């Protein structure tokens, strides 16, 4: 049985995750606008290739992280954290590109909006659907994360596909 405090804690956690995710996407969009634009262009040009690239890199990262964390040595745990945090940073960069892409589409429908307002709405539209119970947790959020990793690698040109430079 959940108490009122438990429910309030869960709601506060969800709101906090949404706000920090939203702020992260805005910060990456504003701090690295050229890279975020490259990520947006990669998603717009070939979303399937970005998704496959992100899926491969995410699966490889999970496998390597599981193997490294099993070693139970502080150095390997630190390497695991650095690996996971770097991939999450790639996801934030790619997610900021997705937010920029959403912002452009929002501005196409509402031309009177400023670029910053459209970016805030775009970032919210990327983050908020991930908190929907079941559907958002197990489908929307992982897909956004995987797309973000793929777009982030493309923006940094970490993984190159033959014919694309």
Q: Is residue 88 part of a domain?
A: yes
Q: Is residue 100 part of a domain?
A: yes
Query: How many structural domains comprise the chain?
Result: 1
Q: Is residue 158 part of a domain?
A: no
Q: Is residue 4 part of a domain?
A: no
Please say whether the beta carbons of 19 and 123 come within 8 A: no
Q: Is residue 40 part of a domain?
A: yes
Q: Give me the DSSP letters along 43-108.
A: HHH-HHHHHHHHHHHHHHHHHHHHHHHTT--HHHHHHHHHHHHHHHHHHHHHHHHHHHHHHHHHHH
> Which element (helix H / strand E) includes 37?
helix 33-45
The pLDDT value recorded for residue 164 is: 52
> pLDDT 10s digit of each residue in the chain, 165 long?
889 999 999 999 999 999 999 999 999 999 999 999 999 999 999 999 999 999 999 999 999 999 999 998 999 999 999 999 999 999 999 999 999 999 999 999 999 999 999 999 999 999 999 999 899 989 999 999 999 999 999 999 865 554 454
Please say whether the beta carbons of 118 and 69 come within 8 A: no
Please state, in angstroms and rounded to a whole number, the distance separating the CA atoms of residues 148 and 165: 19
- Domain assignment of residue 52, given as a range: 15-153
Q: Is residue 162 part of a domain?
A: no
Q: Is residue 1 part of a domain?
A: no
Q: Is residue 21 part of a domain?
A: yes
Please state, in angstroms and rounded to a whole number, the distance separating the CA atoms of residues 116 and 31: 13
Please say whether the beta carbons of 76 and 69 come within 8 A: yes
Please say whether the beta carbons of 99 and 123 come within 8 A: yes
The pLDDT value recorded for residue 157 is: 84
């Amino acid at each position: 049985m959940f108490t009122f405090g438990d429910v309030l804690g869960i709601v506060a956690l969800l709101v906090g995750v949404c706000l920090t995710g939203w702020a992260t996407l805005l910060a990456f969009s504003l701090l690295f606008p050229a890279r975020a634009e490259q990520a947006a262009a990669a998603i717009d040009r070939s979303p399937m290739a970005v998704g496959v690239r992100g899926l491969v890199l995410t699966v490889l990262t999970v496998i390597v992280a599981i193997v490294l964390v099993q070693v139970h040595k502080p150095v390997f745990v630190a390497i695991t954290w650095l690996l996971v945090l770097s991939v999450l940073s790639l996801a934030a960069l790619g997610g900021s590109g997705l937010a920029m892409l959403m912002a452009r589409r929002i501005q196409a429908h509402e031309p009177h909006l400023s670029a910053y307002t459209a970016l805030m709405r775009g970032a919210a539209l990327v983050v908020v659907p991930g908190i929907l119970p079941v559907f958002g947790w197990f489908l929307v959020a992982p897909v956004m994360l995987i797309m973000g990793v793929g777009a982030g690698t493309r923006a940094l040109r970490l993984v190159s596909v033959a014919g694309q430079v």
